[in-house]
Amino acid sequence: MSRLQVVSGKGGTGKTTVAAALALALATEGKRTLLVEVEGRQGIAQLFETEALPYEERKIAVAPGGGEVFALAIDPELALLDYLQMFYKLGGAGRALKKLGAIDFATTIAPGLRDVLLTGKACEAVRRKDKTGRFVYDYVVMDAPPTGRITRFLNVNDEVAGLAKMGPIHNQAQAVMRVLKSRETAVHLVALLEEMPVQETVDGASELRAAKLPVGRIIVNMVRPTILDEADLALTREAPRTAIAKSLSAAGLGGARRGGVAERLVEPLLTQADEYAERYALEREQRAVLQELGLPLHELPLLAEGLDLAGLYELATELRRQGIS
Amino acid sequence: MSLDPVRVLDVDPLLDDPKTRIVVCCGAGGVGKTTTAAALGLRAAERGRKVVVLTIDPARRLAQSMGIDALDNTPRRVKGVDDSADGELHAMMLDMKRTFDEIVEAHADPERAAAILGNPFYQSLSAGFAGTQEYMAMEKLGQLRARDEWDLIVVDTPPSRSALDFLDAPKRLGSFLDGRLIRLLTAPAKLGGRAGMKFLNVGMSMMTGTLGKLLGGQLLKDVQTFVAAMDTTFGGFRTRADATYKLLQAPGTAFLVVAAPERDALREAAYFVERLAAEHMPLAGLVLNRVHDSGAAQLSAERALAAAENLTEARIVDQEAGKAGLRNSPDTDDSSESPASAVPEAPAPDAGSPAADRIDAEGAGTARTVEQLTAGLLRLHAERMRLLFREQRTRDRFTSLHPEVAVAEVAALPGDVHDLAGLRDIGDRLAAGS
């Protein structure tokens, strides 16, 4: 099981939710996980219903069996200052640089440099050990940039190679790449059973593979329950309207005669069944496309009452049930 | 039971008004922004306007159907548009790198342009600066407006991390390239000679030293040559960013915030509404996509479920009375979650009934009675009603916070849109939702 779990997905697929549920699932039974955010959106804080996360590892949840989830929102500017402090002992001078806009410069102008700092921080957490030589975190889960940018984001070596041909940033990029391309890392892609997210997932997987980055699992999120199956749908095309009206009437929904309360329900209910059938067929098509990728495929249910903290634990349990941890 | 907004947004008058020159569609990712922009463009064109739609990242099949899948960064006329009202639809897909290159080529002599385009720093900036796509979308909008060939420009905004990036990026890139640091990097000698700048100069050398150490000296040199070349060529990014800002605030511009009736999307929409107000940018209203409706809204979720229950129980009673001849399967309707009902179901309380067993063996367990189907239809309806209720609650929360915002609702489609007919349908739904 890889210790760095990167979660990406098209915008709107719920990758932050899946990353958080995965961190919870992996923390079960006394494990400790770190959930890392790199895009400064404070999505984790919203999800766990806590105040905005500082640039600091902080416990945000406990998992069943005594596990713990820590969270960290990586700020590229602070990560750079951190880095300067670590390697150059630049306390006050770092602040002076910030004043001049130099930090802003280094972290925003060249995305490759910024990404090295972000992935570097995550890799550092993966490798960190305590005094007894035990890993501080059993797993690090990263809520990563969306599928469209994930390969560039992780492939920092290529990004930086053209800019920094030597020096500490270059070395840092090399070290980060060694972790990211190893078995220590798995990149999961979150999809929905809709055309665009599936297309992006397929493209993303092939880009990652081309860059020799380890693709992990496909997690289909917000899967709607099957209410009518093939046999039901076949019958909607054949069943006499009058029989359905009678049945509705028998269920206590009014008169079945023409114009009766039950009879007037038949058409709208069948229209809804048609819409359901169309969506059902589309979802099946999209699922088949994802299956062709030949990657482990998991499905998480759409939570009927919307997502809250309880729902997050529910998703974590579901991930465990499906053997993801 | 359609949702009844506090204020309704009527899109047709907005599209028809000759004074409307730019419509900007913005909102969170995954809410149907691109489709909305394309549908609005098509509708305006078929109502007689000469329109260009600037899309950022359309679905492949939609792009193909509009004939803009070839990335050449110039608008193409879309075929198959009804031109009986003398309108035209043109469309293009943004190529951010190409747009950036074109700016360079337009503003520098060939030799200098080649130097900039070949600079590794420029290549990194043009392909991946966190705001380049946003900036270039605005740049392209400015170019299209300047050409003045169209009555109406409909623009889609990039799928940003947050909707706000799109307003911030031009300023960020502008202020960065015009920033103090860049000045220091490019003109240390000039600054050094001025009184009062001593401190900065000290800071400068310390800083270039540190940056050099950090990035490697070559990179710093690349940056310096790049910035020097850009600086003399561009006449200030901030000026351009300011011009874009003014264009967005101009009277002919209308912003449409696009959202779906989901908590996160509407939260993002609310941020955007507040931000536009703060920036004095004209908000026309909110387009709420994928709103569900039901033709049987008089039947509540609770009653539908109770009725489905009745059907299930009635059947058990029937079977106990020996009248199971019409039934095909002994299972209860509670198994409807499993599509794999070819597998014999877990024994229901009445599974011992011989009649039921006999018929099940024949039908391989997949046949359905009308009662079972009806119970399924009722459960499907219950789900729909719950969804409706949830959407309404989410929307109400938004409208109570922002009662001033006009809303147009677009009824949900079961499938994806990938042709003009689909876009036309969305346009009709948009207009009908007002």
| pLDDT single digits (tens) B228-259 | 666 665 555 667 777 878 888 899 999 999 99
Give the model's pLDDT for residue B404. 93
Is residue A290 situated within a structural domain?
no
Whether residues B295 and A278 touch (CB distance < 8 A) is answered with no
**Claim to verify: residue A173 and residue A268 sit in the same structural domain:** no
Whether residues A166 and B216 touch (CB distance < 8 A) is answered with yes
Whether residues B124 and A163 touch (CB distance < 8 A) is answered with yes
| Torsion, CA B104, CA B105, CA B107, CA B109, rounded to 10 | 120
Residue B209 has pLDDT above 70, yes or no: no
What percent of chain B clears pLDDT 90, i.e. is strictly above it?
A: 38
Is residue A237 situated within a structural domain?
yes
Domain ranges, ordered by start, for chain B: 11-167+236-292+412-432, 179-235, 301-379
Domain with A256, as residue range(s), is 230-277
Select the more confidently predicted residue: B182 or B226: B226
**Claim to verify: residue A252 and residue A213 sit in the same structural domain:** no
**Claim to verify: residue A216 and residue A258 sit in the same structural domain:** no
Give the model's pLDDT for residue B60. 75
Is residue A99 situated within a structural domain?
yes
**Claim to verify: residue A143 and residue A253 sit in the same structural domain:** no
Q: Residue B411's CB: how many other CB atoms inside 10 A?
A: 17
Residue A174 has pLDDT above 90, yes or no: no
**Mean pLDDT value of segment B125-138:** 72
Is residue A103 situated within a structural domain?
yes
From chain B, the residues in CB contact with A41 under 8 A are: 161-162
Whether residues B370 and A247 touch (CB distance < 8 A) is answered with yes
Nearest to B219 among A164, A230, A276 (CB): A164
Quote the ipTM score: 0.84
Residue A217 has pLDDT above 90, yes or no: yes
**Claim to verify: residue A124 and residue A54 sit in the same structural domain:** yes
From chain B, the residues in CB contact with A105 under 8 A are: 176, 179, 181-182, 211
Task: For A198, name the nearest residue in chain B, comparing CA atoms only.
Answer: B59
| pLDDT single digits (tens) B9-63 | 999 999 999 999 999 999 887 788 889 999 999 999 999 999 999 988 777 777 8
**Claim to verify: residue A87 and residue A198 sit in the same structural domain:** yes
Residue B345 has pLDDT above 50, yes or no: no
CATH assignment of the domain containing A171: 3.40.50.300
Domain count, chain A: 2
- The CATH fold assigned to B11-167+236-292+412-432 is Rossmann fold (3.40.50)
Q: What is the CA radius of gyration of chain B?
A: 30
**Claim to verify: residue A32 and residue A161 sit in the same structural domain:** yes
**Claim to verify: residue A74 and residue A92 sit in the same structural domain:** yes
The burial class, CB within 10 Å (0-12 / 13-18 / 19+), for B414 is middle
The pTM for the full model equals: 0.81
Quickly list DSSP for B322-347.
T-GGG----S-GGGGG-S-TTSPPPP
| pLDDT single digits (tens) A57-83 | 999 999 988 899 999 999 887 887 777
Is residue A166 situated within a structural domain?
yes
Whether residues B372 and A109 touch (CB distance < 8 A) is answered with no
From chain B, the residues in CB contact with A97 under 8 A are: 207, 210
**Claim to verify: residue A249 and residue A165 sit in the same structural domain:** no
Residue B362 has pLDDT above 60, yes or no: no
What percent of chain A clears pLDDT 70, i.e. is strictly above it?
A: 88
**Claim to verify: residue A155 and residue A64 sit in the same structural domain:** yes
Q: Tell me the C-alpha to C-alpha distance, in Å, between residue B276 and each of B132, B163, B284.
A: 21, 11, 11
pLDDT band at B323; cut points 50, 70, 90: very low
Is residue A288 situated within a structural domain?
no
**Claim to verify: residue A120 and residue A212 sit in the same structural domain:** yes
Is residue A269 situated within a structural domain?
yes
**Picking from A238-252, A257-271, B157-171, B178-192, which range would have the lowest pLDDT averaged per residue?**
B178-192
Question: A303: closest CA among B414, B412, B387?
Answer: B387
What phi and psi, each to the nearest 5 degrees, are found at residue B302? -65, -45
Give the model's pLDDT for residue B191. 41
DSSP state of A9: E
Select the more confidently predicted residue: B83 or B196: B83
The burial class, CB within 10 Å (0-12 / 13-18 / 19+), for B106 is exposed
**Claim to verify: residue A85 and residue A234 sit in the same structural domain:** no
